[in-house]
Amino acid sequence: MGRVHEKKVLITGGAQGLGACFGKMLVAEGAQVALSDINLEGAEATAAEINESHPGAAVAIKHDVTSKADWENALAVAADHMGGISVLINNAGIGTWGNIETETYENWRRTQEIDVDSIFIGTQLAMPYLKESQPASIINISSVAGMVADSMMLSYNVAKSGVWMMSKSIALHCAKSGYDIRSNSVHPVFTRTPIVDPLIQLGGGGEEGEQKLVRQIPLRRLGEPEDVGYCVLYLASDESRFVTAAEFKIDGGITA
């Protein structure tokens, strides 16, 4: 039996990058997954790839995480397809680049709405489903940028630190209420997905741009999606049953 046998997992931002990788790794260990994304075509392609080797294990759902109505629909469709929801992975997110003098209010608002407000809206709506499928786990994808500031990541720093604290507050509420629902945050460093491309371009592009990022990381390489996936797999499984309100840095040592 797999490490997440019979877990029913909703992953936001599941079309590509980290979310798609989590879906593949979780299914390989026995889970069913619902991949939701604003990019339905991408989510459908990833679900089809998973279903080729594990028929029926994945479903794709159109979902803008800033929309309450989309959340209601995504949760209902996911629960219907999988027979419940026992793991919620709040993964959808965007990165923005700007300092206190250059960042626009529109960019600031959009980052807060997609990266942090969505987790409040969605997790609140997901609580009845998670309570129905205990033991349950909420996994929020924050960033090392939620712990360490950069002058050019103003909006992203604030959003991801909000995700970090929200995870703890949710964890304490669930524990106090006697629910077997854990809540933790995951903090990756630069990891090889499309979200990092603009940062590589800013550093001059190609190998040179990548090396500018790599030089900051003690382990001297970018993260791979699977590096984060192994942490998510642990948090989705009952192996982490005594772990809540914790933060997991998958960062090659950068925050040391």
Which residues, in sequence order, are CB contacts of 155 under 8 Å at separation 6+?
96, 98, 103, 107, 108, 111, 112
Catalytic residue among 156, 179, 230, 234: 156
Minimum Å distance from CB 13 to ligand NAD?
3
The closest alpha carbon to 184, from 49, 43, 87, belongs to: 87
Q: Minimum Å distance from CB 141 to ligand NAD? A: 4
**In the annotation, is 156 catalytic?**
yes
- Separation CA 160–CA 144 (nearest Å): 8
Residue 64 or 180: the one with the smaller Cβ distance to ligand NAD is 64
Neighbouring CB atoms inside 10 A of 178's CB total 7
Instruction: Report in angstroms how near the CB of residue 129 gets to ligand NAD at its nearest.
Output: 18
What is the smallest separation between the CB atom of 221 and ligand NAD, expressed in angstroms?
A: 13
Q: Looking at the chain, which runs of residues are DSSP E strands?
A: 8-12, 32-37, 58-62, 87-90, 136-141, 181-188, 247-250
Angle ∠(33,18,122) on CA atoms, nearest 5? 60
Q: Which is nearer to ligand NAD, 12 or 155 (CB)?
A: 12
DSSP state of 133: T
Regarding beta strands 247-250 and 181-188, do their DSSP bridges make them parallel or antiparallel, or are they unpaired?
A: parallel
Residues at the site binding ligand NAD, with contacts judged by CB under 6 A:
12-13, 15-19, 37-39, 42, 63-66, 91-95, 114, 141, 143, 188, 190-191, 193-196
Q: Give CA–CA dist 142/149, Å, rounded.
A: 13
Nearest residue (CB) to ligand NAD, 190 versus 234: 190
Q: 36 or 244, CB closer to ligand NAD? A: 36
Any idea which residues carry the catalytic annotation? Answer: 156
